[in-house]
Structure 1
């Protein structure tokens, strides 16, 4: 993994903003331009690469930030671009580049995130259905939905005033999820033709960015754990000096470093994004869950209290493992069942 001077500067700037501000989204958009990273310059964006988006996501993961970067700056933005609809892009993307929040409603209660299926149906310009697990859906300024038009999938923009939106309390309180319900709602289709391939590419990109976020969170969890074991004493010495705990933290270190490698492999030149995104999505989920579990174990009883941050990392690990498909779903994309 190599990073340019500009990418390292981006990392430092994002980390500084996150450390200084409890609600960083506006500053991240106004001063850093994170919402505009993946938006082409022709539509008011920065035209950056996947690698820059991953750098931002890694820092957001370290801070367990609820900033709507993944749902708006990556998932919804990429969905619009995948349609190839220049009129819609010219109308919506400049708003998103400035920090307006967009949400993509797609999956049903099963949460499969299958690019060949959608929670909504469309008859002409009328959309019906009920989507779950919509990232930032309750605070979105722009609402996009994927709907089955009877033989193909399409992307639609719906009127927020006609949508029933409800914040969904979840185990992970650092990630905003919502239910979106539409009943005979008028919508505007974005693009034409079947959106399945575009939706698949959108999911791959989101998986690659999420993997970087998970790697960042796992790395921070390890740092906090190491710091604690240097301070906590038992039998008159820091517990970090016990060989058994050293071995466990060494395993945690290997997991975090390999997770970072898997995540950033997706943004290497000429990378096979669909395959590598599936690998990163599966591996980073498992690595983060393992590190978070060890974090709780090595902190002892205090780790499960509301006052300690270890339980927040544990919940984020299990929450992110469900996004965009569970790890075993993505493993099937790499190694088909029966091989």
Structure 2
């Protein structure tokens, strides 16, 4: 049963700020823009060393997992802070897909296999990915695998971070959730070119792949996972927007034209002010979504839909403006703004477009479109 609706807490606690500082310091040392750009050109976009530091050494992979099930026993609020910082750095790690989405799917399950997998994901030494397309919105229909004699058959396109996954969580057509090791026979992971090279996608084909049944109730587990993914994605989008705003303001204070700082021109100030107001509002809706998920509020589906309707527009607009306001240098491969732009563009499609979330919001508040 959902908890009764309460006023969301939009403020960061001291513990959350301490967590932010620790993650930001680590990313400043291990995830500078030049190294991220170089990694996208290397053919190995995921930074496994950085993931080990975040997931294993700092224990961040298990934030959402209760202590009795092998995790840190924190909440979505702390995970949201981590995602803000990962969004700032456009960090090439599978935190959202493994530590949030796959983990949430397992949290909806019970039983020995679910507990084993959950503890493995919480340790950070195992990476799990929910085998659904990245663009799938909460509540939307998802592809399922055919089950024959304990083996799975099916194809799944656009699965984010499948290349580095150790285990795939696959919804079966019988309504159960299955676990498939990516090293098992009959499993093919075919990388696809992704617009955001820091969050690669792949096509997954299962042709008689051996599977372990995790639990029944796959539709509910998948819906919970996608709702958490969409809600906390807004925090990543917040981090992206905040970072490009900070970088752009700093650049415009230094750049001069006609012997004046570019940032001193009134038209530029107005554009920056609009971005700042949008970012402030985005912080509010992102924190509201994280708090609603953390407290199990009955308003969580509404808060998530509102956050995604707003976050996609703000992050994309902020990054587009950043590219333009940086002038010629903003168009270059060497400058990191394109990393944020691509992340914002892909995030605007991930876990449901703004349009899909608007439709969902209308359903939740019983405000249907008029009949033609």
Q: Which runs of structure 2 are paired with 1:68-217 in the superposition (5 Å)? A: 68-83=94-109, 85-99=110-124, 100-107=126-133, 111-113=135-137, 115=139, 117-124=141-148, 125-149=150-174, 153-160=175-182, 161-162=184-185, 163-192=187-216, 194-217=217-240
Matched pairs, number: 332
Instruction: Please list the CA deviations of residues 271-302 of structure 1 after superposition, one character each: whole Å capped at 9, or x if unmatched.
Output: 61111111111210111011011111111222
- Contact kept in structure 2, 1:211 and 1:284, CA below 8 Å: yes
User: Could you tell me the TM-score, scaled by structure 2's length?
Assistant: 0.85
2: CA distance between counterparts of 1:331 and 1:283?
10
Q: 1:154 to 1:117 in 2, by over 3 A?
A: farther
The secondary structure found in structure 2 opposite 1:103 is strand
1:315 equivalent to 2:353? Answer: no
- Contact kept in structure 1, 2:143 and 2:156, CA below 8 Å: yes
Q: Which runs of structure 2 are paired with 1:295-310 in the superposition (5 Å)? A: 295-310=322-337
Q: Which runs of structure 2 are paired with 1:243-258 in the superposition (5 Å)? A: 243-258=266-281
5+ residue gaps, structure 2: 1-9, 32-46
Higher RCO (C-alpha 8 Å, min separation 6): 2
Runs of 4+ displaced beyond 6 Å: none
User: Could you tell me the TM-score, scaled by structure 1's length?
Assistant: 0.93
2: CA distance between counterparts of 1:112 and 1:15?
30
Q: How many angstroms does 1:159 deviate by?
A: 3.2
- Contact kept in structure 2, 1:13 and 1:32, CA below 8 Å: no
1: CA distance between counterparts of 2:212 and 2:139?
20
The Cα RMSD (Å) is 1.7
2: CA distance between counterparts of 1:289 and 1:121?
34
- Contact kept in structure 2, 1:201 and 1:274, CA below 8 Å: no
Instruction: Please list the CA deviations of residues 180-214 of structure 1 after superposition, one character each: whole Å capped at 9, or x if unmatched.
Output: 1111222122112x322332121111111110000
